[in-house]
């Protein structure tokens, strides 16, 4: 497995692969990898000759009061994990190389970004879209793989690829969970034992809502209430939103559900903000 930190070497190395007509898959990450990331890498392995993973804590997607400086990092451990998942090349650039000057051009998806997580994280998805567009141009992958846990991000990046006519197939990997249902996230590491125990209310609520849906409940407000009740029972939970939206355009559903939908949750436990979601297919 190769580790490349500069943009020029990355371009040269990947050009060589392309000359040999090898297909490329990209799995963008911010590092501090967990089983969820590794599942995406293994998925990528099935779809391309060369698997590239980027490890880059992207400053432009963090707000001024967010956890950019504290974001967990462990490159040596990440490299071992990438190797074990069959990654061929890790791209780990310096922020000064990715952003040699404050960006003059940004990529924005206002309709999809100005809702759900975008309301409490203004500029977040613009940072994500901008860095992913840069990575797409640098790597020029045939395939890119993203996790369903970041459901809004996935919807936005699919729209980015479609609207900007990028010749990239976007694949999605299912959310990987702890044994008690908590969705894996690099930020779980911030949770103290009490918050960690209470955080399972998110997935328990989502699973209960999904069970009710499968049992025939179709009213969005009733389904949302099931999730809220699970969160309200936890003294440390500070729910930011529980919403039921259409899976395609993320708009809220106010009538009985008749199209693929998602219940999406963001909830804080102390300073840790967690997100999760569940798909409902009528």
Instruction: Provide the annotated active-site residues.
Output: 37
Judged by beta carbon, residue 14 or residue 128, the one nearer ligand PAF is 128
Q: At 153, phi and psi to the nearest 5? A: -60, -45
Calculate the CA dihedral of residues 12, 15, 16, 22 and round it to 10 degrees.
150
User: Contacts with ligand PAF in 151-170 (CB under 6 A)?
Assistant: 153
Q: Each residue of 5-18: b (16+ CB within 10 Å) or e?
A: eebeebeebbeebe
Min dist CB 131 to ligand PAF, Å, is: 5
Q: Is 150 in the site for ligand PAF (CB under 6 A)?
A: yes
* Site stretch for ligand PAF (CB under 6 A), options 22-30, 159-167, 263-271, 272-280: 22-30
Judged by beta carbon, residue 126 or residue 153, the one nearer ligand PAF is 153
User: Contacts with ligand PAF in 179-238 (CB under 6 A)?
Assistant: none
Distance CA 208, CA 118 (A): 26
Q: Is 78 in the site for ligand PAF (CB under 6 A)?
A: no
**Binding ligand PAF by CB under 6 A: which of 131, 145, 262, 263?**
131
Distance CA 282, CA 279 (A): 10
Question: How many Cα neighbours within 13 Å face the side chain of 225?
Answer: 7
Distance CA 167, CA 147 (A): 20
Min dist CB 108 to ligand PAF, Å, is: 15
Q: How many CB atoms lie within 10 A of CB 72?
A: 14
Q: In angstroms, how far is the first alpha carbon of the chain from the final one?
A: 44
Judged by beta carbon, residue 91 or residue 213, the one nearer ligand PAF is 91
**Binding ligand PAF by CB under 6 A: which of 132, 231, 237, 262?**
132
Site string for ligand PAF, 54-73 (x = CB under 6 A): ----x--x------------
Under a CB-based contact definition with an 8 Å cutoff, are residues 282 and 258 in contact?
yes
Judged by beta carbon, residue 150 or residue 243, the one nearer ligand PAF is 150
For ligand PAF, the binding residues (CB under 6 A) are 28-30, 58, 61, 128, 131-132, 150, 153
């Amino acid at each position: 497995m190769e580790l490349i930190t500069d943009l020029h070497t990355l371009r040269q190395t990947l050009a060589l692969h392309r000359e040999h007509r090898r297909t490329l898959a990209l799995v963008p990450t911010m590092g501090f990898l967990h089983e969820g990331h590794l599942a995406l890498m293994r998925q990528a392995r099935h779809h391309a000759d060369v698997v590239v993973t980027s490890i880059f804590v992207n400053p432009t997607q963090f707000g001024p009061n967010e956890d950019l400086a504290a974001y967990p990092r462990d490159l040596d451990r990440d490299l071992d994990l990438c190797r074990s998942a069959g990654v061929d090349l890790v791209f780990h650039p310096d922020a000064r190389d990715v952003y040699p000057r404050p960006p003059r051009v940004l990529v924005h998806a206002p309709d999809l970004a100005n809702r759900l997580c975008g309301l409490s994280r203004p500029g977040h998805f613009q940072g994500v879209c901008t860095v992913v567009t840069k990575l797409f141009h640098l790597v020029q992958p045939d395939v890119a793989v993203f996790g369903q846990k970041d459901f809004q991000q996935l919807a936005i990046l699919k729209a980015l690829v479609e609207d900007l006519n990028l010749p990239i197939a976007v694949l999605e990997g299912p959310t990987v969970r702890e044994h008690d249902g908590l969705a894996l996230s690099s930020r779980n590491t911030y949770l103290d034992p009490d918050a960690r125990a209470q955080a399972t209310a998110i997935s328990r609520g989502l699973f209960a809502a999904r069970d009710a849906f499968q049992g025939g409940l179709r009213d969005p407000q009733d389904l949302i209430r099931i999730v809220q009740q699970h969160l309200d029972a936890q003294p440390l939970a500070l729910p930011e939103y529980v919403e039921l939206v259409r899976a395609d355009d993320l708009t809220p559903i106010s009538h009985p559900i008749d199209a693929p939908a998602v219940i999406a949750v963001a909830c804080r436990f102390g300073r840790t903000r967690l997100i999760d979601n569940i798909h409902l297919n009528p």
